[in-house]
Amino acid sequence: MRKLLMMLTLFLCMGVQAQENQYLRELTEAVKGLRKADSKVRDQFITQLSEKNNPKITLMDDVICEGDEFKGAKANRFRLNQSVVYVYGNQNPSLTSKDDGMLSSKERGIYYSAIEKSVKKGGTIKFSIDGHVGQQEFSVIAYHPTAKFRITVTDGSHRPVTKEGNGNVSAVSFSVFRSSTVTLTVEYLGDEKNKEPFESFAVLNYNPWKR
C-alpha cells in the first residue's frame, strides 16, 4: 500500500506541469470553441488560424491510427480535419492544388499539427507518430466536456500527462529524436450525458524541430 501511494505521489508530482507553449494553449481554446457545431464559429476558427502573423498548422495525415475508431456520418464532431485543410490552403496560397497527396506533421517549417478521430464507447484508439524532433507537447480535447477518458503517452518510457478539466488533457513536454516513435493512446470510458455510441477527440501537437 505504501509503495502504491509513493508511486501515485510521484506520478502527481511529475504531472503538475501545464502546457508550456503559448500558441498550443491558444489552439486548444480555439478547438474547444468548435464544440458549438456552428458554421459561423467554424468560419471564425478558420479565419483566426489563417491570420498572417499566426504560425502555420498542418494535418497529421501521416500518423498511424489503430484500434476502435468509429466511422460514420456523425463522426468527427469538431470537423477539425476539414478546417485545418482550409487553414493550410490559406497559409500556403502558392500551392497549385491543395487536394493532391496527404498533409504531414513531418513537413519542415511547420511546428503545429492536428487531427480528429472518433472512438467507440469503451474502445481505444492508438496514434503512432514518428519523425518529430525535440520537446513535444500534445493536447487532447474531447468533444463533450463531460467525457471520461484515459490518455497514455509513451516513447519507450511512459510519460505523465496533466488533466486540465473541461474535457482536455495535456501531455507534459518531453524530448524525442527523429528516430523515436511516440504512441498516444486514447481510451474512451464513457459519458452519461453523451447518448452517441462514440466520442470525438482532437489531438494537437507542437513539434519544435530541434533538441
CATH class of 2-206: mainly beta
Residue type, 122: G
Which pLDDT does position 177 carry in this prediction? 93
Residue boundaries of the structural domains of the chain: 2-206
Q: Which residues of the chain have pLDDT under 70?
A: 1-19, 96-101
Please say whether the dihedral angle defined by the alpha carbons of residues 31, 79, 120 and 156, taken in this order, is positive or negative.
negative
| pLDDT tens digits, 140-157 | 999 999 999 999 999 988
Spatial strand order of the sheet with 64-67 comes to 64-67, 124-130, 181-190, 148-154, 158-159
User: Rounded to two decimals, what is the model's pTM?
Assistant: 0.88
Looking at residue 164, what is its pLDDT?
Answer: 82
